[in-house]
């Protein structure tokens, strides 16, 4: 429901801009300097197990994407770029304004040297960010609807285009994007997440739509699930789709059989859930007026809230890396919130009573994916990585490891963006899990 209010607010803003005599839409240098001065302003909202360590103040902040040590956010008028090497001290680097009246940046996805921006009425914008201090638009595509979210995989940008459904754009040549296919989702496509051959679309009050995009020119719906609320965003990990379902909270849908998705569990977040990001065993929900909620989903049938931070205004989007949640708050700008995940986040007992690899934690970092094992005794650990076709790519470890906590790191630069399988053996136990590499 809040997104509809957002639409109205943007339309009103357009009217003001159209009839205003002020043509200086770009922020003057002194205003950007002032914003840089405010970057370190902290907040003092209600919280549990969370601490705000950094902040950038600006209005109309609807999304955030992190790549390496750079944060990409937006203020509806511009793409904003910050250096977050030190999360407690975000430093403003540069911005790009689409230079049109009909601005409304809402969704961001970054791959390599390009930021793909869902720019509401201004559709899909492709911005070269190889020089963060001077980003330049490379290309754009008119999607025909209202571009609200974008997910990029391989050579395609998948755009949640509101009433125009899912648009599939070939961006192999960023300066000349071309639509390959589209699918009318039936309602209003608000968010999109792509894994393997499926696009998962949060389709407002039509719930979750699962679209087979193995043939991009001919996408076909495989399954759907009525989430009960107004599906705003979706994040897919392993066999579950986590849906931010507006007033209906967080819905956890088993999508192991895409043609027959089944709800496994749900959590009433207490407000309107607009954004969701899942890492390790935690779902981070951008929950409108009550800020960020952190839900333990290690048991999907029984999710439990273990932390929160009340931003005091309108939390819309969230991106998590390391132990930091970057929260896009429409009225409060970008919040950088620390949640203690080290050690305490390891599954199972901290002192396992046998040689086993059932106690592990997968942690996503800027350049690596780290797998931590908790072992009471030393033993031989064999760990391999496979592609989604089941082909073995590399042996990550094949040696004796000591008792205690052992870390095995995967260099993300060694593999292209995509989904991979990790298979491990130690003693009489095995693990089989999936990881997603996004660069």
pLDDT category, 361, cuts 50, 70, 90?
A: low
Do residues 405 and 285 share a domain? Answer: no
Q: Quick count: other Cβ atoms within 10 Å of Cβ 269?
A: 26
Q: Give φ, ψ of 425 to 5 degrees.
A: -140, 140
Do residues 373 and 265 share a domain? Answer: no
- Name the token pair of 179: 């639509």
What pLDDT score does 6 carry?
53
The three-state DSSP-derived secondary structure of 93-141 is EEEEECCCCCCCCCEEEEECCEEEEECECCCEEEEECCCCCCCEEEEEE
pLDDT beyond 50 at 19 = no
Q: Is residue 158 part of a domain?
A: yes
Q: Is residue 351 part of a domain?
A: no
Do residues 370 and 232 share a domain? Answer: no
Q: What is the mean pLDDT of residues 110-122?
A: 91
Do residues 110 and 197 share a domain? Answer: yes
Do residues 199 and 243 share a domain? Answer: yes
What pLDDT score does 59 carry?
82
- Residues 6 or more apart in contact with residue 345 via CB below 8 angstroms: 280, 281, 282, 361, 363
Do residues 370 and 332 share a domain? Answer: no
pLDDT beyond 90 at 381 = no
Do residues 395 and 287 share a domain? Answer: no
Do residues 290 and 398 share a domain? Answer: no
Please give the order of strands across the beta sheet that includes 191-195: 191-195, 198-202, 208-212, 220-225
pLDDT beyond 70 at 20 = no
Which residues span the domain enclosing 270?
A: 2-338
What pLDDT score does 426 carry?
82
Q: What is the CATH number of the domain that holds 403?
A: 2.60.40.2550
Do residues 171 and 256 share a domain? Answer: yes
What pLDDT score does 376 carry?
61
Q: What is the pLDDT of residues 311-340, one digit of tens each?
A: 988 999 999 998 899 999 998 899 999 987
pTM summary value: 0.73
What pLDDT score does 5 carry?
45
pLDDT beyond 90 at 171 = yes
What pLDDT score does 43 carry?
54
Tell me what the pLDDT averaged over the chain comes to: 83
Q: Is residue 147 part of a domain?
A: yes
Q: What is the pLDDT of residues 27-71, one digit of tens each?
A: 433 344 434 444 444 555 678 888 999 999 888 899 999 999 999
Q: What is the pLDDT of residues 194-205, one digit of tens each?
A: 999 999 999 999
Q: Is residue 343 part of a domain?
A: no
Number of domains in the chain: 2
Q: Is residue 345 part of a domain?
A: no
Q: What is the mean pLDDT of residues 174-202?
A: 96
Q: What is the pLDDT of residues 272-304, one digit of tens each?
A: 999 999 988 899 999 999 999 999 898 899 888
Quick one: what percent of the chain has pLDDT higher than 90?
A: 55
- Name the token pair of 146: 């209202």
Q: What is the pLDDT of residues 224-265, one digit of tens each?
A: 999 999 999 999 998 999 999 999 999 999 999 999 999 999
């Amino acid at each position: 429901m809040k997104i509809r209010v957002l639409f109205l607010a943007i339309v009103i803003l357009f009217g003001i801009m159209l009839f205003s005599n002020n043509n200086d839409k770009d922020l003057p240098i002194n205003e950007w300097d002032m914003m840089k001065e405010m970057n370190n302003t902290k907040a003092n909202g209600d919280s549990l197990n969370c601490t705000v360590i950094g902040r950038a103040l600006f209005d109309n902040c609807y999304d955030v994407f992190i790549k390496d040590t750079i944060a990409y956010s937006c203020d509806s008028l511009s793409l904003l770029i910050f250096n977050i090497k030190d999360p407690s001290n975000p430093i403003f680097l540069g911005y790009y304004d689409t230079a049109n009246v009909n601005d409304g940046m809402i969704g961001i996805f970054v791959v390599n040297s390009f930021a793909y921006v869902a720019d509401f009425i201004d559709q899909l914008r492709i911005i070269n960010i190889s020089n963060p201090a001077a980003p330049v638009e490379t290309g754009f595509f008119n999607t025909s609807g209202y571009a609200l979210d974008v997910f990029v995989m391989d050579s395609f940008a998948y755009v949640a285009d509101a009433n125009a459904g899912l648009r599939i754009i070939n961006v192999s040549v960023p300066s000349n994007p071309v639509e390959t296919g589209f699918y009318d989702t039936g309602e209003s496509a608000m968010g999109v997440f792509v894994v393997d051959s499926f696009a998962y679309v949060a389709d407002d009050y039509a719930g979750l739509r699962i679209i087979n995009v193995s043939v991009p020119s001919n996408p076909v719906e495989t399954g759907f699930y009525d989430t009960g609320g107004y599906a705003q965003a979706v994040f897919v990990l392993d066999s579950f789709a986590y849906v931010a379902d507006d007033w209906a909270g967080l819905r956890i849908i088993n999508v192991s059989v895409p043609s027959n998705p089944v709800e496994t569990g749900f959590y009433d977040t207490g407000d309107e859930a607009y954004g969701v990001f899942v890492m390790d065993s935690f779902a981070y929900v951008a929950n409108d007026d009550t800020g960020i909620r952190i839900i333990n989903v290690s048991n999907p049938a029984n999710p439990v809230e273990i932390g929160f931070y009340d931003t005091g205004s309108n939390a819309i989007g969230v991106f998590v890396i390391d132990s930091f949640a970057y929260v896009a708050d429409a009225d409060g700008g970008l919040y950088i919130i620390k949640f203690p995940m080290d050690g305490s986040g390891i599954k199972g007992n901290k002192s396992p009573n046998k040689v086993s690899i059932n106690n592990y934690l997968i942690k996503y970092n800027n350049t690596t994916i780290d797998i931590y094992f908790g072992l009471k005794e030393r033993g031989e650990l064999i760990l391999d990585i496979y592609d989604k076709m089941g082909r073995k790519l590399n042996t990550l470890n094949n040696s004796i490891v000591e008792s205690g906590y052992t870390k095995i790191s995967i260099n993300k630069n060694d593999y292209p963006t995509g989904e991979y399988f990790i298979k491990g053996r130690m003693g009489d136990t095995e693990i089989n899990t999936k990881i997603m590499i996004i660069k």
